[in-house]
Amino acid sequence: MTQHPERKGFTVWFTGLSGAGKSTIAEMLYHEFQARGMKTEILDGDVVRQNLSKGLGFSKEDRDTNILRIGFVAELLTRNGVATICCPISPYRQTRDQVREMVGAFVEVYVHATIEELAQNRDPKGLYKKALAGQITGFTGVDDPYEAPEHPELVLDTMVETPEDSLQRTLSRLMELGYLDEDTIMVRGDRLHSGLTDLRVHRTGHVVKES
């Protein structure tokens, strides 16, 4: 598809607990933007920590610094016409609101799943189980707070929606808000990994579908 040089940038900010599905939906959305000829980038929390925020810990101050750094980059990209996708946990409401003010064209998407669901069904490394047993401290959603958004542009409930359902609802909301011209899913089947999220990758370069 042709490039749209006049297209304005915006930021889609996925927030939610670890394992809720933020990176999965972000990766799918990235391919949808690419299929539309849009300039797009992903800022994933774990990937950013390895580069932009290397050396930061997990105190509230360090978490806030990490999120504000992501917000700073998101604002630069947005200002330059890039459809920017961010998917850090971003547990604190006030910090997310600071980023919203900074970016302007900001779409907050709350990716919801309960601690019970995550601990029982989406905990391949056993981190939730360890945190619930007190073996890990400072774990978001267990003994460190996660403040859910009060007025997000969209809530995705990944306990009842498939990733495709969540993607479709995201595209439809972006169309309603005037950021997309249409909301048809354009990329089906296996997707090549963007290299920008921490999702697992096949040797073929495709995203591994988690069971």
The structural domains of the chain, ordered by start, are 10-176 (3.40.50.300)
Instruction: Please give the average per-residue pLDDT across 180-188, as a whole number.
Output: 93
Burial of residue 53, with CB atoms counted within 10 A of its CB: 0-12 exposed, 13-18 middle, 19 or more buried: buried
- Note the pLDDT of residue 204: 42
Q: What distances in angstroms separate CA 29 from CA 159, 166, 194, one per listed residue?
A: 19, 10, 11
Residue-wise pLDDT for 130-181, tens only, equals 889 898 888 888 888 899 999 999 999 999 999 999 999 999 999 999 999 9
Spatial CA neighbour of 114 closest among 20, 186, 179:
20
Query: Is there a catalytic annotation at residue 90?
Result: yes
Range in 56-65, 66-75, 138-147, 151-160 the model is least confident about: 56-65
Q: Is pTM beyond 0.75 here?
A: yes
Spatial CA neighbour of 18 closest among 162, 98, 122, 155:
122
Instruction: Please give the average per-residue pLDDT across 78-102, as a whole number.
Output: 96
Alpha helices per DSSP H over the chain? 22-35, 45-50, 60-79, 93-103, 115-121, 127-132, 163-176
- Note the pLDDT of residue 147: 94
Pairing of strands 106-112, 10-15: parallel
Instruction: Please give the average per-residue pLDDT across 14-27, as a whole number.
Output: 93
Share of the chain above pLDDT 70, in %: 82
On the CB side of 186, how many CA atoms lie within 13 Å of its CA? 16
Q: Are 68 and 85 in contact (CB under 8 A)?
A: no
- Whether the per-residue pLDDT at 9 is higher than 90: the answer is yes
- Note the pLDDT of residue 91: 93
Instruction: Please give the average per-residue pLDDT across 94-101, as a whole number.
Output: 97
- Note the pLDDT of residue 206: 43
Catalytic residue, from 90, 172, 194, 211: name it: 90
Range in 73-77, 135-139, 196-200 the model is least confident about: 196-200
